[in-house]
Amino acid sequence: MKKKSSPLQKRLYMLMLVCLVPLTAMTLYLLYIFNNFSMWYNSIVENITSISNYSIDFKEDMDYTMYMIVVNMERAEQLVDTQQPHLMINEARKDFQALYDSSKLDNSKSQIVNILKSLNTLESCVEEIEADALVSGSYYKNMERLDMNIRVLTEIIQEQIQRYIKYETDCLEVLRKGISSDVSSAISTSVCVFAIILLAAIFTSRKIMTSITEPIRRLSDATKQAASGDFAVRAKEDSDDELAILNTSFNYMVEKIGNLIDDIRIEQQNLRQTELRLMQAQIAPHFLYNTLDSIIWLAESGENEQVVKMVSALSSFFRVALSRGRDYITLAEEEIHVKSYLEIQQLRYRDILEYTIQIPEDLHEYQILKLTLQPLVENALYHGIKNKRGVGYIKVTGIKQEKTLVFCVYDNGIGMTKERLSYMQAVINGECISEKNTSGFGLANVNQRLKLNYGSAYGLVLDSVYGAWTKVTVTIPIKS
């Protein structure tokens, strides 16, 4: 069953019809006039522009080329393009035929017919000269043809072109007078229509205004109270039109805002807790203890250079990890963080770990959420490389794709079976819960942070082949 329009809707429809119907009719009328004049004007200007080039260059180029052919009979092909006259005539004939097809004036068409006839005659004269060009004793005869035929015909064609331009120019004057007359008429009609619309709109809107402004004023006062933090305020629902729905919706909104604020507060707390858990994982005591043990072992072995490298890497690692409390750091800093971690681990596992980092320098100034790549590298080491025999390899790459940054952390570790891969993908996407201290828990943490900070369209993608490799792809929006 069709819903009946409310009184407010009916009044607004009336106001809209009073304004739009005559205004639309007037606009369509003006567009029709202007479109016709515009098409006519463009056609004339295009015709004049197209033919003006022939008025300037055609005679001069044709006379010069034919003169060179007559005077230098045997060397003409070395001095000029002997096919140029024919090309000029064919191109002119094609252009003037197109003008004939598009022209609307009888005088212009008649003049174009004369030009086409002159071009045909000119072509015949050119062929006569070319036929006798190499005949002995024909020089003076061809010079006479050049003076009496070629130059006379090009002069005639030039005069015909000028007459055509004059006809088209006269047509522009007719168009100008028509535009002036129609514009005056349109202005007068528009003023009358606009005056009627204005009076009708004022008369109708005054009636509607009173029934709308007072409820809106009360709703505005209630909104100011809500904006100041008073979510107990309620708007009066004393009307029977759309404003009643607006008031009801406002009251519902105010009621829910408090709950939303609480939800946001809880979400922010969860985000901070997630970041805290991830931070704690990065500075876990066992990592620090193992690193310090390695430093002591190296120092006792007298490998002072390796001690310096490990202490320097450890310092860089924690400097970036803390970052003065910043959530976002530059990609250059994130690369330093990853490199410092890998340097420490390579010094500890020098026989089983190799790595490369390939991130272009032109991406270094972009901002990235801290602790995005390092946890993925750690996961590749502990759950991929350490579980296989032989030397392990970790590769970190980064590229720019349109408005996103795409990173890849690859390792040639033990990989995952299809069942394990499906489970891990479900854990990362939050479809199931992983136990702490597993690779799924760390990857899910990173993915959750990325989605909370960048949006649900971004995050991690996991792929793996058992016994061969594992790859984690990170996609985030560019943030400079």
> What integer pLDDT is reported at residue 86 of this predicted model?
83
Q: How confident is the model at residue 1 (pLDDT cuts 50, 70, 90)?
A: very low
Three-state SS for 199?
A: helix
**pLDDT tens digits, one per residue of 125-137:** 888 877 776 565 6
Percent of the chain at pLDDT > 70 equals 71
Mean pLDDT of the chain: 77
> Which one, of 44, 57, 41, lies nearest residue 167 by Cα?
44
Burial class for 195, CB neighbours closer than 10 Å (0-12, 13-18, 19+): exposed
Burial class for 375, CB neighbours closer than 10 Å (0-12, 13-18, 19+): buried
> What integer pLDDT is reported at residue 438 of this predicted model?
59
Burial class for 35, CB neighbours closer than 10 Å (0-12, 13-18, 19+): exposed
> What integer pLDDT is reported at residue 134 of this predicted model?
57
| Paired strand residues for 367 | 330
> What integer pLDDT is reported at residue 285 of this predicted model?
57
Q: In the predicted model, is pLDDT for residue 268 greater than 70?
A: no
Q: Which residue type occupies 327?
A: D
> What integer pLDDT is reported at residue 350 of this predicted model?
73
Mean pLDDT comparison of 60-69, 103-112, 223-232, 410-419, highest-scoring range: 410-419
Q: What is the mean pLDDT of residues 309-330?
A: 76
Q: What pTM was estimated for this model as a whole? A: 0.45
Q: How confident is the model at residue 444 (pLDDT cuts 50, 70, 90)?
A: confident
Measure the CA–CA gap between 444 and 434, rounded to whole angstroms. Answer: 8
Residue found under tokens 């891969």: 421
Q: In the predicted model, is pLDDT for residue 80 greater than 70?
A: no
> What integer pLDDT is reported at residue 163 of this predicted model?
80
**pLDDT tens digits, one per residue of 274-294:** 655 555 455 555 566 667 767
> What integer pLDDT is reported at residue 35 of this predicted model?
72
Q: What is the phi/psi pair of residue 137, to 5°? A: 85, 5
Q: What is the mean pLDDT of residues 76-84?
A: 69
Measure the CA–CA gap between 382 and 414, rounded to whole angstroms. Answer: 11
Q: In the predicted model, is pLDDT for residue 95 greater than 60?
A: yes
The length of the chain is 480
> Which one, of 430, 420, 422, lies nearest residue 450 by Cα?
430
Q: What is the phi/psi pair of residue 465, to 5°? A: -130, 125
Q: In the predicted model, is pLDDT for residue 3 greater than 60?
A: no
| Paired strand residues for 368 | 329
Inter-helix orientation angle 84-102/7-71, to 10°: 150
Q: How confident is the model at residue 4 (pLDDT cuts 50, 70, 90)?
A: low
Of 42 and 341, the structure prediction assigns the larger pLDDT to 341
Q: Locate 391 and state its tokens.
A: 């030397």
